[in-house]
Amino acid sequence: MSRQIVSVVGGKDAPAADTYTSTNPARTGEVVARVGLADADTFAAACRTAKEAQREWAKVPAPVRGRVIASIGRLVEANAERLARLVTDEIGKPYAEALGEVREIVDTCDFFLGEGRRLYGQTVPSEMPDKDLFTYRNPVGVAAVVTAGNFPVAVPSWYLVPALLCGNAVVWKPAEYAAASAHAMYRLFAASGLPDGVLNIVFADGAQTFRGLELALEAGSVQKVGFTGSSEVGRKIGELTGRHLQSACLELGGKNPMVVMPDAELDLAVEGALFAGFGTAGQRCTSLGTVIVHESVHDEFVERFARAVREARVGDPAEDVLAGPLLDQKFADRYEEYLTWIQPHHKVVSGGTGRITQDNPRGDFDGGAGLYYHPVVVDGVRAADRLFLEETFGPIVGVTTFSTLDEAIELANLPGYGLSSSIYTTAPTNAFRFREGVSAGMVSVNNSTSGAEAHLPFGGNGKSGNGSRQSGMWVLDQFTRWQAMNWDHSGRLQKAQMDVAEIEPDLTFRL
């Protein structure tokens, strides 16, 4: 089922300078798509095309733009199984999860189609008579959106849908290893009747994208950057946009903690930790990093958690499994490096480690030709360990202990990320104290660190992002800029702060 795909700019196929082969990580010999990669100039040209198209798109009334978003939602819904199957083939995401991911696009469209009829501004009282004040949300212009491939369609939709609804044009650069899924989603968006050039998709490697973005920022054809990916690249994008007085919406990594209190329902906590740590093979930015478990329940928790992990099904993502393969060879290589961070004072309690092969099988599963890895639980992790401090994208979860809630909160914040977090407890006081103390943008109580709903603010602090938020009404502040208008109809010049009526109080008055 190999396909050839190239960038689409202004509704037309754009030239390719190089080729990338996107393969199925469950059967690495299987080519999903041959992808033509564009160079920096093509990226910058796409931003110019978008800038042209944006002028007209911004003039389309927001309720009409909302109808286009409604059509996108319907098209995605009608093509849900096909798109989900492609996601499963291209990045190895278990099919049920891939369907959920596609559902998230529809949810996002459902939310924003109505925003087309809101997109409220305000009427504000003036300090002077015969003068009226108003605020408007204006589109920012062109958004360049660079996304990761672990959520190849849902997370991009969090940028694309609100950006388009608000009257912006978009140049979208998806991850190369998820290019076919992205291209399919682009086609669904295009079928909604979006005018050519309003949404453009450019396939390019990291270096060409960065250079292209720099050229576009210099030319003034990008006013917003959306980026989902590593903290390291996020920093560079933040620097680049800052230099051009533009802002980026950065959604970066996480080292997401799960605190298990002594009063927690342990089986529930185990179920949550299993899904948070090993669902999507641990490759969500919201995946569980470290379980911080109270010392009094540590042994019991670890025993049950290790058992659950040993019994969990890893295998063909087309089947009913907890986890499929890693996304791509690059991720597998990086994950193998994280495994070298396991030290003698650690204890692997989950069974095997490393790639699942004939010589290192998981039960009767030998991994075939896929990038499958043993899920790993490492007990005895200490606060100074790399395993504790750094993101380990992939199926590995650390366990450490604490004695007081304050100590648990301190440990939860120590790595300096701040995307997601979770606490298992039956006491409301613990939940609220944790919420108040934890640095994360998201807090789950008695739930997984992953699985945020599409209409809540999504984003992180510290190494997880620059405080920007996606989703729901909060993302509107990313894709619009407030404009304040005042209208004086008094027929004379009324000077603010100077020509204001004053009512004299008697400040000497006492009861």
Buried b (16+ CB within 10 A) or exposed e, 67-99: bbbbbbbebbbebbeebbbbbbbbbbbbbebbb
Task: Quickly count helices (H) and strands (E) in the chain.
Answer: 15, 20
Residue closer to ligand UN1 by CB (options 44, 332) is: 332
Q: How far is the CB of 283 from ligand UN1 (least distance, A)?
A: 8
The candidate with the shortest Cα–Cα distance to 379, out of 345, 402, 351, is 345
Residue closer to ligand UN1 by CB (options 228, 401) is: 228
Q: Which of 101, 115, 214, 251 is catalytic?
A: 251
Residue closer to ligand UN1 by CB (options 108, 425) is: 108
Active site includes 251? yes
- Do the Cβ atoms of 17 and 40 come closer than 8 Å? no
Which residue type occupies 483? Q
Q: How far is the CB of 279 from ligand UN1 (least distance, A)?
A: 8
Q: What are phi and psi of 194, to 5 degrees?
A: -55, 130
The candidate with the shortest Cα–Cα distance to 184, out of 107, 75, 110, 92, is 75
Residues that bind ligand UN1 (CB under 6 A): 150-151, 155, 228, 284-286, 450-452
Residue 3: both structure tokens together = 């396909």
The candidate with the shortest Cα–Cα distance to 182, out of 145, 237, 209, is 145
Which residue type occupies 97? E
Q: What are phi and psi of 153, to 5 degrees?
A: -125, -35
Instruction: Please tell me the distance from the alpha carbon of residue 262 to that of residue 403, in angstroms, as a whole number.
Output: 9
Residue closer to ligand UN1 by CB (options 264, 452) is: 452
Q: What are phi and psi of 37, to 5 degrees?
A: -95, 135
For 347, residues 6+ apart whose C-beta sits below 8 A from its C-beta are 378, 379, 380
Q: How far is the CB of 324 from ligand UN1 (least distance, A)?
A: 15
Residue whose entry in the numeric block shows the structure tokens 């958690």: 305
Residue closer to ligand UN1 by CB (options 228, 241) is: 228
Residue closer to ligand UN1 by CB (options 5, 285) is: 285
Q: How far is the CB of 155 from ligand UN1 (least distance, A)?
A: 5
Residue closer to ligand UN1 by CB (options 181, 450) is: 450
**Eight-state DSSP code of residue 23:** E
Residue closer to ligand UN1 by CB (options 94, 141) is: 94
- Tell me the three state secondary structure of residue 418: coil
Q: How far is the CB of 21 from ligand UN1 (least distance, A)?
A: 24
Instruction: Please tell me the distance from the alpha carbon of residue 378 to that of residue 60, in angstroms, as a whole number.
Output: 55
Instruction: Please tell me the distance from the alpha carbon of residue 317 to that of residue 30, in angstroms, as a whole number.
Output: 15
For 331, residues 6+ apart whose C-beta sits below 8 A from its C-beta are 283, 371, 393, 394
Q: How far is the CB of 326 from ligand UN1 (least distance, A)?
A: 14
Q: How far is the CB of 286 from ligand UN1 (least distance, A)?
A: 4
Residue 236: both structure tokens together = 């560079």
Q: How far is the CB of 465 from ligand UN1 (least distance, A)?
A: 11
Q: Give catalytic residue positions.
A: 251
